Amino acid sequence: MAIIDSQVHVYEANTPKRPWHSVPNWPAHVTGDEMVAAMDAVGVDGAIFISAFSMYRYDASYAVEVQRAHPGRFALVKPVDPDDEAVADVIADWKKTPGTVGIRIMMTKEAGRDPSDPGLDRILRAAVRHDFPVNMLCWGNVAAGATLIDRHPDTRFIIDHLAIMQPRTPPAPPEPWADLPKVLELARRPNAVIKVSGACTLSRAPYPFPDIWDPSPGYSTRGVSSAACGGPTGRARSPSSTTSRRWSPSAGPTA
């Protein structure tokens, strides 16, 4: 069985050639070659490469370069801009790009998006038209994410990072699973799957993170077929440290 990591971020060093929008507390670079080497070291066959929004915003040009250099190892997801009135054309062009499998939107409180935002409507209609699933980051704002899912029953949503806030650096928060009931309600929707990525950042113990398994029986609401699994990709661990080999996921983000 192929092992596919549901989310990695791959990026160059911060240089004038391709400057970062912001500087997270990640390693100085995790290039395509470096990520492939890390994946090979732990037996990961492929990965869903999410172009890093914090660094590159809506520019996925580096992701395209990496996929071209390693066409059998990465499938691409690009953040798209609700404020771009031509975003439907952007999505149409993205569909024509080799290796693309989806798009991403940000629905955190910081993003300040109402679920009725017309830009989101444009994006989600185009996603259906081009048969793209939509990765959505809505941690800390699960109710808005649920409203958006319900407004667009024909759109396939992938809920990033369990829809649970994950720290960029240890330790985990005192009550990391406080939003778990809201997440389980999300999982009842037939057009949404949960991406179990970065879960180890919620642990206060080393691998195999025994203290995060107590809440996990709740995920039997829809079963493993409704989950996509992946490593921490940059928060609290090195993004080169993929862990999905331990999860053996049965469903990828395009499921």
Q: In what order do the strands lie in the sheet with 157-159?
A: 4-8, 46-50, 74-79, 100-106, 134-137, 157-159, 192-197, 227-230
**Residue 128 belongs to what domain range?**
4-246
254 occurs within a structural domain = no
The 10 Å Cβ neighbour count of residue 58 is 16
SS3 222: coil
Token duo for residue 204: 């206060």
Q: 166-210, pLDDT tens digit by residue?
A: 998 889 989 998 998 999 888 889 999 999 888 889 999 988 888
SS3 33: helix
Which range among 4-13, 175-184, 207-216 has the greatest average pLDDT? 4-13
Q: How far apart are CA 245 and CA 83, in angstroms?
A: 38
162 occurs within a structural domain = yes
Q: How far apart are CA 87 and CA 67, in angstroms?
A: 22
255 occurs within a structural domain = no
Average the pLDDT over 138-152 and give the result. Answer: 97
Domain count, the chain: 1
Q: Report residue 66: phi and psi, to 5°.
A: -65, -45
Q: 97-129, pLDDT tens digit by residue?
A: 999 999 999 999 999 999 999 999 999 999 999
253 occurs within a structural domain = no
Q: Report residue 55: phi and psi, to 5°.
A: -95, -50
- The radius of gyration computed from the CA coordinates of the chain, to the nearest angstrom, equals 17
pTM of the model as a whole? 0.86
**DSSP strand pairing (157-159 vs 192-197):** parallel
Q: 233 or 14: whose pLDDT is higher?
A: 14
CATH number at residue 49: 3.20.20.140
Across all residues in the chain, what is the average pLDDT? 86
Q: In the chain, at which residue ranges do the beta strands (DSSP E only) sit? A: 4-8, 46-50, 74-79, 100-106, 134-137, 157-159, 192-197, 227-230
Given its phi and psi angles, is residue 117 left (phi above 0), alpha (psi -120 to 50 degrees) or beta? beta
